[in-house]
Amino acid sequence: MTRADSAARDRILVIGRSGQLAQALLELDSGLVACGRDQFDLSRDDAGSLLDAHAPCAVINAAAYTDVNGAESDPEGAQALNCTGPARLAAACKARGVRFLHVSTDYVFDGAAGGAPYKETARTRPLNVYARTKRNGEDAVITANEDALILRAAWIFDGRGGSFLNAILNRLDNGLPLKVVQDQISTPTWAPDLANALLRLARSETMPAGVFHFSGGPAASWFDFARAAIRLAQPQLPVEPVIDPVDSSAFPQPAQRPLDTRMDAQALLTATGIGPGDWRAGLPEVISRRYEQRKG
């Protein structure tokens, strides 16, 4: 077998290219093939043709409609990207014997479990359109391809785009005070931790099927997360940062958020040996890179 044949046999195709998760995947493995929306529109393009053109051994779907508030006024668009499109892609993978991995969210839960981490078997109850389309997507993917793996993750962050982390750091860079919610709790997930888990799973000949939870590390509130980021960024800030904890009611939004969506990730560890990441280890790297790039 030639080197080219071997590379083709091990090819992993990533759907999505510009998002935090897709970029983290590409940084971990530059040999991945990533298709942005200009090459493949998940909401309407033919998945079979895409797979036939690239002949991957596995597909990681890192594309999604992630504008939680925007989905409230665009349920059709959210459904197309979070449910209908992934189901078609899952079916095409099933027909060709290609492993399919799909990323879902902690928002499928209502956050009313009283602090007990949710297991995969816990009842789901989405509170907003985004979460409902992601939950619909889980069902549609498994119906189309019973061999698919769905990995739920929470609060994915990195140093790119319009993330919560960048939003708070931008305010601090401008010397502005912060008010951050303290009653929304989950497990922040550093994008490279999730990307590493997905690549390990995609390359496994014994990849499990069904829904699993990935833990990004210890539970935290948005306020806890912001305070940890501030401690790291403080030497770079123009003035002493001011941050105040508030409840969610202080920030009315179109989409209701669940309050406590901690997830139990023991099933993934037991089935695959993949344990939790640690957002506390990723956060210093993200912030260090941010300010080093600005100096450069």
CB 62 within 8 A of CB 14: yes
CB 42 within 8 A of CB 59: no
Residue of 161, 261, 180 lying closest to 216 (CA atoms): 261
Burial class (CB in 10 A: 0-12, 13-18, 19+), 70: middle
Of 65, 107, 118, 130, the active-site residue reads: 130
Is position 130 annotated as part of the catalytic site? yes
The pair of structure tokens assigned to 134 is 């992601």
- In angstroms, the CA 239 to CA 255 distance is 33
Which residue has tokens 């640690």? 278
CB 102 within 8 A of CB 149: yes
The pair of structure tokens assigned to 196 is 């590493």
> Annotated active-site positions, please?
130
